[in-house]
A and B are shown apart, each in its own frame.
Chain A
Amino acid sequence: MHLPFWSRIRKTRQGKLAGDEPIGVGDNPLLREETTGASEETQWRLIWRRFRRHHLAMGGLVVVLMLYGVAACAEFLAPMNPRAFDSKYPYAPPQRVRMFHESEEGVSFRPHVLDYRVELDSVQMTRVFHDDPDQVVDLGFFVETEPYRLMGFIPMRRQFFGPVNPDHSFFLLGADRLGRDLLSRMIYGTRISMTVGLIGVTLSLVLGITLGGMSGYFGGWIDNLIQRLIEFLQSIPSIPLWLGLSAAIPPRVDPLMVYFYITIILSILGWTGLGRVVRGKFMSLKTEDFVLAARLDGCSSGRIIRRHMVPSFMSHIIATTTLAIPHMIIGETSLSFLGLGLRPPVISWGVLLQEAQNIRTVATAPWLLLPGAMVAVAVLALNFLGDGLRDASDPYA
């Protein structure tokens, strides 16, 4: 279910202005959605209209779209290779971007950073980074880089921005323990962290709609069985369960497979809430007059479910799904942070946060907490979006 109503917004507005005649309302006009002149509007357009009024949710939508854009174009956006480490720069702090360069010829516009001169502080046993005015790292947009394929199929030789000389290093948000660029790693991490939610939720959705739908439509012992199963799954403390399930993943398995296992683990627990929602919707819709009317029209069960019941709560399901993605993201982050989920060399926000596990590192290199901020932004944005969708999804309520 995509959002097919986008393209028709303008038409809707015109239609509204051209309302040809007054149409009254029945029971309680003040509580009823505006009915005047609304002609052939589909539910999606109504939802979109209501959604647009929800500013926070619109903001959420923009942020979420941006995050998925970042995930899709990580190779293009990341200034550095996220895996390239450099023993010269462990825990290098963020570099300041300077716009103008002073030289003998005068001041010129030349975006650059200054490379670090590293000194070892023998007293504190730490590295001290100093800006080295002689070593200018020029930055530019659309700079040349190693060839790669954007989104897996567009061959590219340039990236969005980075050092003009591909051999130079550049740490806009600092570096980690191995001197890898944190910004690039966060950008690559977006890919795994944001999709773990999508795949997990898709799986939950399938499980939730099937099992919840069966539960609600057939009732009786099927309902009883599924409800007890849900209660059982919800009663298991999640962290020990994660521990157990992660322990079941063979240790030598390919990191990518671990990723799939993790999503499966997350969705085994994640479908229960959705299942309940779907069951409730089925049960309440089953006794709606319009469903009875469809039965009297001679509709088969399949047709009633397809044509009359599912469309009535599809929008609701989408909203619930949106609200479920953050749980998945948080789940992945927690699992990986605890070392139970993804492991390096896979890059995800949770894996990145693993670096920030001890207080000393956090004290000396606080920028390593930035992936946590990304998690917060993503979760908030998805929650706002989901809330907005939920509020907008029931224009008839």
Chain B
Amino acid sequence: MLLRKKIQYGRPGSAILDADAAGMRPENLVEVRNLQTHFFTDRGIVKAVDGVSFAVPKGKTIGIVGESGSGKSITARSLMSLIDPPGRIVSGEILLERQDGQIVDIARLDPFGSEIRAIRGADIALIFQEPMAALSPVHTIGNQIIEMIQIHEDLDDKAARDKAIDMLRRVDMPKAEQRIDAYTFELSGGMRQRAMIAMALACRPRLVIADEPTTALDVTTQATILDLLRELQSRDEMSVMFITHDLGVVAEIADEVAVMYLGRVVERGPVDDIFEQPMHPYTRALIRSIPKLGVRGRHRLEAISGMVPHPSNRPQGCPFHDRCPEFMPGVCDRIVPPLEKIGERRDVSCLLHSDVEALKAASEQETTSDE
């Protein structure tokens, strides 16, 4: 049993890498390269994340946008090595620059080991969509924040409590000294999310992963939470990975955007470029399809045809080809488009922007060499 676990998780090679050998760019905090996280179910392999590459720049916010089944949440969980069986990280690298400058490959760490536990909370913290599910109902929010602080820092109870109150103040929790002894059910949705953020930020992580943190909130509360996250981010110079399905939220908060579809990043770049000059047909269609405030009169939305396929049933070639308005028969349904660099911090994964002939030749060569 133990042996099997080793084979499953302990991927070969050392997890701690030389900064030069890793080849990480200094402005990035995290670089994800060709990440693949698969789920081995009874009915076959579900490739939830299938070759995802992106980088989280230091002190900036990257928005990961995608519909359900795009693998955005699984990507986030992979970053914390929180993939439960039957899923696991199959290949790829998740390089993280730790506080002391050391570079670790999270994909190679034992998900139950002490190294990853030291990273969770201290280097990377997670904010969930549903604070009610993520916070314990039987402990006060104060106790949960204090516990979090004491796991990672050597502080006595008094000092930890002071720090917890300070954290609650920083997330604009009104009456923080009293609210620290409140239970989650005594707080409103917005307050709970603030408590959750306070807990995530308690150990001053360098990266905060926020998985749909405002989806369950009302618009007015969402607006204040987004403001808060933006403010905390610029003050602490932390990086934020913001996962959402809502293009409006991304436009509000992100500096960079990665658009995901069926387990792959289809396009990535600075937020203004993505919204002004989307290069991938999916991004373009997605932006066009959503109703926008201020568009008056009666008109039809430009909907994307078809449905998002099940990840276990992904189409051949480009995953978007069967819904794509610019589908090229014989090309898009044959060749999986690589993520091409088309500018500074700008990538797109579409055969319209690739050298199709070269790819064709390469794939043909591959098939002939296979034979």
Contact = CB atoms under 8 A, between A and B. Distances in A.
Quick check: do A and B touch in the complex, using CB within 8 A?
yes
B307 A23 contact: yes
B16 interface: no
B74 A36 contact: no
A4 interface: no
B307 A30 contact: no
Interface residues of A, number: 13
A34 B307 contact: no
B42 interface: yes
A34 B45 CA distance: 12
Nearest to B42: A53
B331 interface: no
B48 interface: yes
A25 B48 CA distance: 14
B313 A36 contact: yes
B308 interface: yes
Interface in A18-34: 22-30, 34
Interface residues of B, number: 17
B345 interface: no
Given A30-B48, A30-B74, A34-B312, A24 B42 contact: no
B68 interface: yes
A138 B132 CA distance: 74
B48 A24 contact: no
A24 B69 CA distance: 10
Interface in A340-364: none
A47 B214 CA distance: 37
A30 B48 CA distance: 8
A35 B309 CA distance: 10
A36 B308 CA distance: 12
A29 B69 contact: yes
B111 interface: no
B320 interface: no
A28 B68 contact: yes
A36 B311 CA distance: 10
Contact of A36 (B69, B312, B315): B312
B282 interface: no
Given A30-B48, A30-B74, A24 B308 contact: yes
A29 B311 contact: yes
A22 B312 CA distance: 10
Contacts of A34: 43, 310, 312
B54 interface: no
A35 B307 CA distance: 13
Interface string B285-315: 0000000000000000000001111111101
Interface of A is mostly: loop
B42 A25 contact: no
Contact of B69 (A22, A25, A53): A25
B128 interface: no
A26 B309 CA distance: 9
A31 to B, nearest CB: 10
A77 to B, nearest CB: 38
Contact of B68 (A22, A23, A26, A53): A26
Contacts of B308: 24-25, 29
B62 to A, nearest CB: 23
Given A27-B68, A29-B69, A30-B48, A22 B39 contact: no
Contact of B313 (A22, A26, A28): A22
B282 to A, nearest CB: 15
Nearest to A24: B307
A151 B132 CA distance: 59
Contact of A30 (B42, B46, B315): B46
Contacts of A30: 39, 46, 48, 69, 74, 311
Contacts of B315: 22
A334 B210 CA distance: 58
A380 B312 CA distance: 37
Nearest to A37: B313
Given A30-B39, A30-B46, A53-B42, A36 B310 contact: yes
Nearest to A29: B69
Interface string B187-217: 0000000000000000000000000000000
Contacts of A25: 68-69, 308, 310
A30 B69 CA distance: 7
Interface in B34-71: 39, 42-43, 46, 48, 68-69
Contacts of B69: 24-25, 28-30
Nearest to A50: B42
Contacts of B310: 22-25, 29, 34-36
A227 B311 CA distance: 46
A55 to B, nearest CB: 12
A385 B39 CA distance: 28
A27 B67 CA distance: 9
A27 B215 CA distance: 14
Contacts of B48: 30
A67 to B, nearest CB: 29
B291 to A, nearest CB: 19
Contact of B309 (A24, A28, A53): A24
A279 to B, nearest CB: 25
B288 to A, nearest CB: 20
A22 B43 contact: no
A73 to B, nearest CB: 37
A19 to B, nearest CB: 9
A39 to B, nearest CB: 15
A45 to B, nearest CB: 15
A27 B129 CA distance: 15
Nearest to B322: A22
A30 B68 CA distance: 9
Contacts of B42: 53
A22 B309 contact: yes
Contacts of A24: 69, 306-310
Contacts of B74: 30
A315 to B, nearest CB: 20
A29 to B, nearest CB: 4
A392 to B, nearest CB: 13
Contacts of A22: 309-310, 313, 315
9 contacts: A22-B310, A22-B315, A23-B307, A24-B309, A25-B69, A25-B310, A28-B68, A29-B310, A36-B310
Given A29-B308, A30-B311, 11 more contacts: A22-B313, A24-B307, A24-B308, A24-B310, A25-B308, A27-B68, A29-B69, A29-B311, A30-B74, A34-B43, A36-B313
Q: Nearest 10 A-B pairs (CB), nearest first? A: A24-B307, A29-B69, A36-B313, A24-B308, A22-B313, A22-B309, A24-B309, A25-B310, A34-B43, A29-B310
Interface of A: 22-30, 34-36, 53
